[in-house]
């Protein structure tokens, strides 16, 4: 086989090019180049050999990186204390439940009016099957998991500039896109356009695969009929009795499918990070953070502790902080070593005694803007009216995403869905509005996809991550250039201070990155402690 440049192609390369036409590989490659689609490097439990001889460690932040470090260091014999800004464990491992109160930067306070047992995850909301470290701790700490539905063929794809602004079912766009592309490639093959690239024998195999993949008929055409209706859905579904005869549905025109650009989101569940199976903790993502806190036991975490200064010398580290419930009075904590998991977006505002290279790295990392909006409705209309059970609908509207709960199907009463997951400039715009305005806009936009929104809406909450007091942003947004210049300095143990968190990883924005960062850091820290004889 050869391409049009005369270079020989393997069958795998040929199939790879066909895969590119489906839209998935390019996005995956882009994510990989930015360190966002790497498989977890977790290989098993942490093993720290040798006694630290009573060495003490002060951990700043009770997110998953901080609690992982504290948990593993305590097992190895260290005396550990955590200072945590919030009144709860978890950091960005966070769920807002009915009855919770949240105050953002600027003073706006929201009182979540969700019903009991209903919640929204403002931060991480799903766990890939290959994030082995997170899953290992869930198993170890007995955190029950359930499936998270990433792809639902009955959910909607929506573009205000296509099909008169009417949403289409995922399965319709998926089937029609694959069908038309398969027909075009089949015609090219039959006309000899691939004679130089594919042998006659392989052309027959290719045609057979296209007929199967694209639901083509005997004439290798994608048309209204049994084959296409089984994929895209029937105009009238098979039933029983006299009126049970099904009616086939009519595929949309190829030009309409292409111009709609709705095919751009078909690959959402194909990228490695989003492939089935994905998980979520039963009862909210915060169950993981709560489990870590239970394992650490009482007295290890001091809550409501806002760090105001970090100092060190050759003998140890001194951290100055204040109790957020009684501000104005400085407190101090001392230890031989310090593990700092405070996001650089916040740490850059705190005096910290480190070398010039690390100090510069702390100030150079931007944090992504993101907004999530949780909406409670009077009934689970997406299930009752539209047979959508879990999964995600996508739109070109600023809300970008509607995610339906992957739990408690057919529950009576009210339900909560993720009504917006906003990024980039739209996120900055949304963050500038009040929480109530963000919720109102999410309902307004969402009603273009679900007309039931306005009648069924009950209440909502919103989180703009640049207004979250303990992060000032969603996650560390490394570019290749920033990593090349500053990542090395950020990962070093500077005297007696070491950094950890999702921002000190090649899996940014994921809990797995935070945990693996902690594993890597405590391994290096323990070696340094052993080399210096343990406690100062």
Token pair in block for residue 108: 């706006």
- DSSP-derived letter for residue 5 is T
pLDDT in tens, 408-441: 999 999 999 999 999 999 999 999 999 999 999 9
| Vertex 383 angle, CA 382 and 384, to 5° | 100
Residue 139: exposure state from Cβ atoms within 10 A (0-12, 13-18, ≥19):
exposed
Find out whether 337 and 498 touch, Cβ atoms under 8 Å. Answer: yes
The domain ranges of the chain are: 56-90+287-365+478-532, 96-155+277-284+368-467, 170-257
Find out whether 93 and 285 touch, Cβ atoms under 8 Å. Answer: yes
Measured distance CA(308)–CA(8) in Å, rounded: 62
* pLDDT value of position 17: 44
pLDDT in tens, 454-487: 999 999 999 999 999 999 999 999 999 999 999 9
Tell me the CATH number for domain 170-257: 1.20.1440.240
Which strand ranges, in their side-by-side order, compose the sheet holding 316-323?
305-313, 316-323, 330-335
SS3 510: coil
Going residue by residue through the chain (536 aa), what tens digit of pLDDT does each one get?
A: 444 444 444 444 444 444 443 333 333 334 433 444 456 788 778 899 999 999 999 999 999 999 999 999 999 999 999 999 999 999 999 999 999 999 999 999 999 999 999 999 999 999 999 999 999 999 999 999 999 999 999 999 999 999 999 999 999 999 999 999 999 999 999 898 888 888 989 999 999 999 999 999 999 999 999 999 999 999 999 999 999 999 999 999 999 999 999 999 999 899 888 999 999 999 999 999 999 999 999 999 999 999 999 999 999 999 999 999 999 899 999 999 999 999 999 999 999 999 999 999 999 999 999 999 999 999 999 999 999 999 999 999 999 999 999 999 999 999 999 999 999 999 999 999 999 999 999 999 999 999 999 999 999 999 999 999 999 999 999 999 999 999 999 999 999 999 999 999 999 999 999 999 999 999 999 999 999 876 66
Residue 295: exposure state from Cβ atoms within 10 A (0-12, 13-18, ≥19):
middle
Phi, psi of 533 (to 5 degrees): 90, 15
Find out whether 78 and 55 touch, Cβ atoms under 8 Å. Answer: yes
* pLDDT value of position 2: 43
| Vertex 486 angle, CA 481 and 489, to 5° | 155
CA distances from 28 to 38, 273, 403 (A): 10, 9, 21
pTM: 0.91
- Locate tokens 């955590």: which residue? 82
Of 419, 421, 423, the residue nearest 368 (C-alpha):
423
- Locate tokens 């990989």: which residue? 32
Token pair in block for residue 104: 């953002």
Phi, psi of 335 (to 5 degrees): -160, 165
Q: Is 319 left (phi over 0), alpha (psi -120 to 50) or beta?
A: beta
DSSP lists the bridge partners of residue 334 as 318
- DSSP-derived letter for residue 40 is P
β-pairing verdict for 370-377 and 316-323: unpaired
Give the DSSP letter string of 419-479. Answer: EEEEEHHHHHHHHTS-HHHHHHHHHHHHTTT-TTHHHHEEEEEEEEGGG-TTTSSSSB---
Find out whether 289 and 93 touch, Cβ atoms under 8 Å. Answer: yes
Find out whether 120 and 352 touch, Cβ atoms under 8 Å. Answer: no
Find out whether 123 and 94 touch, Cβ atoms under 8 Å. Answer: yes
Tell me the CATH number for domain 56-90+287-365+478-532: 3.50.50.60
- Locate tokens 């701790």: which residue? 137
* pLDDT value of position 29: 36
On the CB side of 6, CA atoms within 13 Å amount to 0
Residue 527: exposure state from Cβ atoms within 10 A (0-12, 13-18, ≥19):
middle
DSSP lists the bridge partners of residue 441 as none
- Number of other CB atoms surrounding residue 515 within 10 Å: 31
* pLDDT value of position 268: 86
Tell me the CATH number for domain 96-155+277-284+368-467: 3.90.660.10
Find out whether 22 and 268 touch, Cβ atoms under 8 Å. Answer: no
């Amino acid at each position: 086989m050869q391409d049009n440049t005369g270079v020989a192609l393997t069958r795998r390369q040929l199939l790879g090019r066909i895969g590119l036409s489906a839209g998935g590989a390019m996005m995956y490659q882009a994510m990989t180049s930015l360190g966002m689609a790497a498989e977890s490097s977790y290989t098993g439990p942490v093993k720290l050999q040798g006694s630290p001889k009573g060495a003490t460690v002060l951990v700043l932040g009770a997110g998953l990186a901080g609690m992982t470090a504290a948990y593993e260091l305590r097992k190895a014999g260290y005396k550990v204390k955590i200072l945590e800004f919030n009144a709860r464990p978890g950091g960005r491992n966070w769920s807002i439940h009915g009855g919770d109160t949240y105050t953002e930067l600027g003073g706006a306070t929201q009182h979540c009016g969700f019903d009991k047992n209903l919640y929204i995850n403002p931060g991480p909301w799903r766990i890939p099957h290959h994030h082995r470290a997170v899953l290992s701790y869930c198993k170890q700490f007995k955190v029950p998991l359930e499936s998270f539905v990433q792809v639902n063929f009955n959910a909607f794809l929506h573009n205000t500039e296509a099909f008169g602004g009417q949403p289409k079912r995922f399965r319709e766009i998926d089937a029609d896109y694959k069908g038309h592309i398969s027909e075009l490639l089949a015609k090219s093959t039959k006309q000899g356009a691939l004679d130089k690239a594919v042998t006659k024998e392989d052309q027959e195999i290719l045609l057979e695969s296209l007929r199967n993949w694209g639901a083509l008929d005997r004439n290798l055409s994608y048309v209204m009929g049994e084959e296409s209706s089984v994929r895209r859905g029937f105009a009238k579904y098979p039933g029983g009795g006299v009126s049970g005869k099904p009616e086939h549905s009519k595929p949309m025109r190829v030009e309409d499918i292409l111009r709609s650009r709705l095919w751009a989101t078909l690959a959402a569940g194909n990228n490695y990070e989003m492939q089935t199976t994905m998980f979520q903790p039963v009862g909210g993502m915060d169950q993981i953070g709560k489990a870590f806190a239970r394992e650490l036991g009482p007295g290890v975490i001091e809550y409501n502790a806002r760090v105001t200064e970090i100092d060190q010398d050759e003998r140890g580290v001194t951290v100055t902080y204040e109790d957020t419930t009684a501000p104005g009075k400085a407190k101090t904590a001392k230890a031989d070593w310090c593990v700092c998991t405070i996001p650089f977006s916040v740490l850059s505002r705190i005096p910290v005694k480190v070398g010039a290279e690390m100090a510069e790295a702390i100030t150079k990392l931007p944090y992504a803007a993101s907004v999530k909006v949780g909406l409670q409705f009077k009934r689970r209309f997406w299930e009752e009216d539209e047979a959508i059970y879990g999964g995600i609908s996508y739109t070109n509207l600023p809300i970008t995403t509607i995610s339906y709960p992957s739990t408690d199907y057919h529950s009576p009463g009210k339900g909560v869905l993720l009504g917006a997951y906003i990024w980039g400039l739209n996120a900055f715009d949304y963050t500038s509005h009040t929480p109530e305005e963000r919720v109102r806009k999410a309902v307004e936009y969402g009603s273009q996809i679900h007309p039931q929104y306005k009648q069924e809406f009950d209440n909502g909450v919103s989180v703009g991550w640049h207004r979250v007091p303990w992060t000032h942003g969603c996650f560390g947004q490394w570019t290749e250039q920033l990593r090349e210049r500053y990542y090395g300095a950020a990962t070093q143990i500077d005297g007696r201070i070491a950094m950890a968190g999702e921002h000190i990883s090649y899996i940014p924005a994921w809990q797995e990155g935070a945990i693996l960062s902690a594993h890597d850091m405590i391994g290096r820290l323990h070696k340094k402690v052993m080399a210096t004889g343990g406690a100062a």
